[in-house]
């Protein structure tokens, strides 16, 4: 998914946050991407609550204004005691903060670009120390200022932080309800860079007892994962196999013909794609393609779909991406496969969770993001799970493990629901898999 990224350096972001307090910034508008016009600004920034502007010039200044009020194009002068102007200069000086732009009026809420009296943006603007008299903007961004809120008195989900061993044992001893199936087969689906491969690596590391990095993970413009992989997981070095196969896929992109193709995904769900098949968005897999498994059994089909979403990007999911998810969901529902929403990178999304992972279900901010995601996906909040994967650590951590184990445990519960959804003839353990789905070779997809 092409994501619009901030032009603030890490230091500039820290400086800006030091002026705003305990908040998170959510990029709403970037002139170089959305258009250097008042219209583009208003279409993305009106009715967004507290915001902060970051204007950039060639002299290295980042300057702007914060207001706690909405832009609405009302045509009136808006009062805001919390508003201020600021400037961050190159060279690490303390950022300049000018409080009370005007005792009464913070900004003119008109249909032009933002006008803070002393500073008029997206137009010719004025004063000196804020920008070193270089008023030609090289970039212009507006961020929504999201209060992180406090911690909830009671977590909205109870996590058994002390029960790592019990959880691990119960997962290792899991047996699918259908005799012919040995392992739950779970697929990870989500935008590029959401953390799918890292999630598998983390679960693998946790069961192995040391850090592993079997799946290649990282960041690139496009999906780092290009092969379909069905990973087995071992409990301890040389130990038994965990009754779970985690399938890793190429990242989804919002446009057609890039990223994981939906038809390929449907074939993955139906068990038609062999391990290590090289996914090609331009030519989806077909019956005659090498790597296509015609005789899919109940062992090969996917029992639970896990949508993986980067928590930091929940509000950045484009309509196109949400539409893609909606179409995947429709097809997955049709196949009777239970679905989970996995929110990754909670440590990056919320400093309270980074500070202490046990805050994860107490953070007001993360709860808001979980609700937002559950609504936009149309998936109940009870199916939303929050995790942090191992990204920089060299050693395992009990709290990280507990969240990973809780997620895996839920995947196994949902796998049971999958089998309950299937009409299985117990005697022959035969099932006419997905026979109602068009373009499906129902007679070949039989359990032995």
Ligand X SMILES: Nc1nc2c(ncn2[C@@H]2O[C@H](COP(=O)(O)OP(=O)(O)OP(=O)(O)O)[C@@H](O)[C@H]2O)c(=O)[nH]1
Q: Is 347 in the site for ligand X (CB under 6 A)?
A: yes
C-alpha to C-alpha distance for 429 and 423, rounded to whole angstroms: 10
Is residue 113 a contact residue for ligand X (CB under 6 A)? no
The closest alpha carbon to 448, from 297, 303, 300, belongs to 297
What is the footprint of ligand X within residues 158-187 (CB under 6 A)?
none
Which positions ≥6 away from 333 have C-beta within 8 Å? 339
Give dist(CA 65, CA 50) in Å, integer.
Answer: 11
State the helix-helix crossing angle for 398-421 and 196-208, rounded to 10 degrees. 110
Of 197, 205, 367, 415, the one binding ligand X by CB under 6 A = 197
Q: How far is the CB of 225 from Mg ion (least distance, A)?
A: 3
Q: Output the six-digit token pair for 38.
A: 């008042």
Q: Is 261 exposed, middle or buried (0-12, 13-18, 19+ CB in 10 A)?
A: buried
Taking the alpha carbons at both ends of the chain, their separation in whole angstroms is 40
**Site membership for Mg ion, residue 389 (CB under 5 A):** no
Is 144 in a helix, a strand, or coil? strand
Options 388, 403, 415, 431; binder of ligand X; rule CB under 6 A: 388
Compare residues 176 and 190 and give the one whose CB is closer to ligand X: 190
The residue within the footprint of ligand X, chosen from 6, 48, 214, 391 (CB under 6 A), is 391
Beta carbons within 10 angstroms of residue 40's beta carbon = 17
Decide if residue 144 touches ligand X (CB under 6 A): no
- Contact between 406 and ligand X per CB under 6 A: no
* DSSP H helices in 143-281: 164-172, 196-208, 262-269
225 binds Mg ion (CB under 5 A): yes
Report the residue number, 53 or 349, with the smaller CB distance to ligand X. Answer: 349
Q: How far is the CB of 324 from Mg ion (least distance, A)?
A: 17
Among Mg ion, ligand X, none, partner that 379 touches (CB below 5 to 8 angstroms by kind) = none
Choosing among Mg ion, ligand X, none, which partner's interface includes residue 67 (Cβ < 5 to 8 Å by kind)? none
Q: Which of 310, 316, 305 is closest to 387 using CA atoms?
A: 310
What's the DSSP call for residue 437?
S
Stretch touching ligand X by CB under 6 A, among 42-50, 107-115, 356-364, 385-393:
385-393
Binding mask 168-207 for Mg ion (x = CB under 5 A): ----------------------------xx----------
Choice between 57 and 197, CB closer to Mg ion: 197
Give the footprint of ligand X on residues 282-301 (CB under 6 A): none
Contact of 284 with 228, CB cutoff 8 Å: no
List residues binding Mg ion (CB under 5 A): 196-197, 224-225
List residues binding ligand X (CB under 6 A): 190, 192-198, 217-219, 223-225, 251, 344-345, 347-348, 388-389, 391
């Amino acid at each position: 998914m092409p994501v619009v990224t901030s032009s603030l350096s890490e230091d500039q972001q820290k400086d800006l946050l030091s002026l705003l307090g305990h908040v998170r910034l959510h990029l709403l508008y970037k002139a170089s991407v959305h258009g250097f016009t008042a219209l583009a600004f208003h279409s993305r920034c009106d009715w967004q609550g507290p915001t902060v502007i970051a204007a950039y010039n060639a002299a290295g200044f980042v300057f702007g204004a914060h207001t706690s009020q909405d832009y609405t194009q009302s045509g009136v002068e808006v009062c805001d005691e919390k508003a201020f102007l600021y400037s961050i200069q190159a060279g690490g000086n303390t950022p300049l903060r000018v409080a009370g732009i005007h005792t009464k009026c913070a900004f003119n809420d008109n249909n032009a670009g933002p006008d803070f009296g002393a500073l008029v943006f997206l137009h010719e603007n004025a004063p000196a120390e804020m920008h070193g008299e270089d008023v030609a903007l090289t970039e212009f961004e507006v961020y929504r200022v999201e209060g992180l809120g406090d911690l909830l008195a009671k977590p909205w989900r109870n996590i058994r932080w002390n029960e790592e061993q019990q959880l691990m044992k119960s997962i290792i001893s899991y047996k699918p309800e259908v005799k012919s199936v040995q392992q739950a087969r779970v697929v990870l689906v989500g935008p590029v860079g959401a953390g799918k491969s890292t999630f598998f690596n983390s679960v693998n590391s946790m069961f192995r007892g040391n850090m592993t990095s079997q799946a290649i993970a990282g960041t690139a413009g496009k999906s780092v994962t290009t092969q379909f992989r069905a990973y087995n997981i071992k409990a301890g070095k040389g130990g038994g196999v965990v009754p779970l196969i985690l399938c890793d896929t190429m990242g989804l992109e919002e446009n057609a013909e890039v990223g994981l193709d939906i038809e390929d995904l449907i074939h993955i769900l139906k068990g038609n794609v062999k391990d290590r098949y090289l996914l090609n968005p331009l030519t989806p897999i077909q019956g005659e393609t090498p790597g296509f498994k015609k005789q899919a059994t109940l062992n090969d089909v996917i029992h639970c779909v896990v949508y993986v979403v980067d928590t930091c990007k929940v509000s950045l999911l484009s309509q196109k991406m949400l539409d893609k998810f909606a179409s995947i969901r429709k097809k997955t529902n049709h196949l009777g496969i239970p679905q989970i929403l996995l929110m990754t990178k909670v440590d990056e999304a919320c400093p309270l969770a980074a500070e202490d992972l046990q805050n994860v279900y107490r953070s007001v901010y993360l709860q808001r993001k979980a609700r937002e995601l559950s609504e936009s996906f149309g998936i109940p909040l009870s199916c939303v799970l929050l995790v942090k994967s191992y990204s920089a650590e060299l050693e395992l951590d009990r709290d990280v493990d507990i969240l990973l184990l809780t997620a895996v445990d839920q995947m196994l519960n949902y796998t049971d629901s999958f089998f309950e959804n299937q009409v299985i003839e117990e005697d022959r353990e035969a099932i006419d898999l997905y026979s109602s789905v068009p373009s499906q070779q129902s007679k070949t997809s039989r359990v032995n």
